[in-house]
Structure 1
Amino acid sequence: MKNIVIGVGNMLFKDEGIGIYASEYIRQNYEFDDETLEIIDGGTLGFKLMTYFQEYDNVIILDTVSIEDEVGGIYRLPSDVLLGLGNYRKTAHEVEIVEMLEIVSVLDSHATVTIIGIIPEDIISVGIGLTKTMEDKFEEFILNGIKEIESLGIKAKKINNIPISDVVKSMIGSYNGEHLTRIPNEEDFTHAINL
């Protein structure tokens, strides 16, 4: 079985980055007894994600969801529910995910796709980092993702306790106005300029 966890979103718009942050948080803080499990940052790949829907048995997407409910609400949305959920299609990548599911659903073989989604507070403001509401719900969001991974028969073990702020700083150098003293991979960047 080929299984993959994909964090989706846009890190430039506050809570819109939570799926990407979650996938990296899991990579840095957990290990799994199935070494074939892949965890990736799907960012705003859009229709390029369709390859994963066709080549994997199980796809778990970590993302925000546009559902009229309380901010911070966490939902497990299997593909059959998503296909009938018109309200879900509000952001560009949400539209693309549902459209990709509609396309692959007519194929003989495609992944079982499940979204673990959280209702964001702010996906409009430009800023790297999460709102306080999303920070408070982050651990619960992660645990829902881990539960979904474990439902595939994969055992998870927490090996680190790196906080979300440090995870994001390791990715992009900044979190809610706090900055690293140097840019991640700065040596590589400086070396490339000097070539």
Structure 2
Amino acid sequence: MKNIVIGVGNLLFKDEGVGIYASKYIEENYKFEGNLEIIDGGTLGFKLMSYFQDYDNVIILDTVSIEDKVGGIYRLPSDVLLGLGNYRKTAHEVEIVEMLEICSVLKKHAQVTIIGIIPQDIEKVEIGLTNEIEQAFEGFINTAITEIESIGVKAFKINNKSIKDIAQGLIGSYNGEHLSRVPNEEDIRYANVL
């Protein structure tokens, strides 16, 4: 069986990037026994359709627009997701549901499950997670690992990188803290002179 975990979202808008952080966190902190691919799906939208057709199990890590407590974690199989009309609030949420609707009429399509978390802020332009989502992050990861194991893939924790380490490894910054290797304006001007 072909299985894939897809982190979805946009790192530029606070909690909107939680799915990407989660997929990278899982990739760097766990090893797996069984067939599992992990990718950053970003904001690919309809370009993710091939995964829905080519894989047996697709697990999407994302925010969910459900009226409930911030940090609440939901497991939404595709049949449940298709019945949630009010879920579709962000562009990628609309696209995911539309892809599921299209796939539901095809002969072969993946079993799609969304592991979603209710965000605090998906509008502020800042790289990093809010305190509320940071506090719920471990539960989000544990729910994702439980889902991965439910499809027959064994997970083993091999590392303990923090969400900050993961984010800084991806883009060099997290909640205003930058890695020292990120060039500042003076370094760039000096390099251009040489």
TM-score (norm 2): 0.93
1:25 partner amino acid: Y
Query: Match for residue 10 of structure 2?
Result: 10
CA deviation after TM superposition for structure 1 residue 61, in Å: 0.1
- In 1, distance between residues paired with 2:119 and 2:89? 12
CA deviation after TM superposition for structure 1 residue 182, in Å: 1.1
The residue matched to 1:94 in structure 2 has which SS? helix
- In 2, distance between residues paired with 1:183 and 1:7? 25
- After superposition, the C-alpha distances for 1:156-175 in whole angstroms (9 at most, x for unaligned) are 00000000000000000000
2:43 partner amino acid: T
The residue matched to 2:69 in structure 1 has which SS? coil
2:13 partner amino acid: F
Rg larger for: 2
- After superposition, the C-alpha distances for 1:133-168 in whole angstroms (9 at most, x for unaligned) are 000000000000000000011110000000000000
- In 2, distance between residues paired with 1:28 and 1:128? 20
The residue matched to 1:162 in structure 2 has which SS? coil
The yes-or-no answer on 1:125 pairing with 2:127 is no
* 8 Å CA contact 1:172, 1:183 repeated in 2: no
What aligned pairs does 1:77-96 form with structure 2 within 5 A after superposition? 77-96=76-95
* 8 Å CA contact 1:62, 1:115 repeated in 2: yes
- In 2, distance between residues paired with 1:64 and 1:157? 25
Q: Which runs of 5+ in 2 are unaligned?
A: 184-191
* 8 Å CA contact 1:5, 1:39 repeated in 2: yes
The residue matched to 1:80 in structure 2 has which SS? helix
2:70 partner amino acid: V
Query: Match for residue 146 of structure 1?
Result: 145
- In 2, distance between residues paired with 1:92 and 1:37? 27
Query: Match for residue 30 of structure 1?
Result: 30
* Structure 1 consecutive aligned stretches of length 4 or more whose deviation exceeds 3 Å: none
- After superposition, the C-alpha distances for 1:54-107 in whole angstroms (9 at most, x for unaligned) are 000000000000000010000000000011110110000000000000001000
CA deviation after TM superposition for structure 1 residue 111, in Å: 0.1
- In 1, distance between residues paired with 2:65 and 2:11? 17
Q: Which runs of 5+ in 1 are unaligned?
A: 185-192
Identity between Structure 1 and Structure 2 (%): 76
- In 1, distance between residues paired with 2:153 and 2:147? 9
The residue matched to 1:157 in structure 2 has which SS? strand
1:127 partner amino acid: E
- In 1, distance between residues paired with 2:139 and 2:60? 16
- In 2, distance between residues paired with 1:142 and 1:47? 25
- In 2, distance between residues paired with 1:128 and 1:143? 23
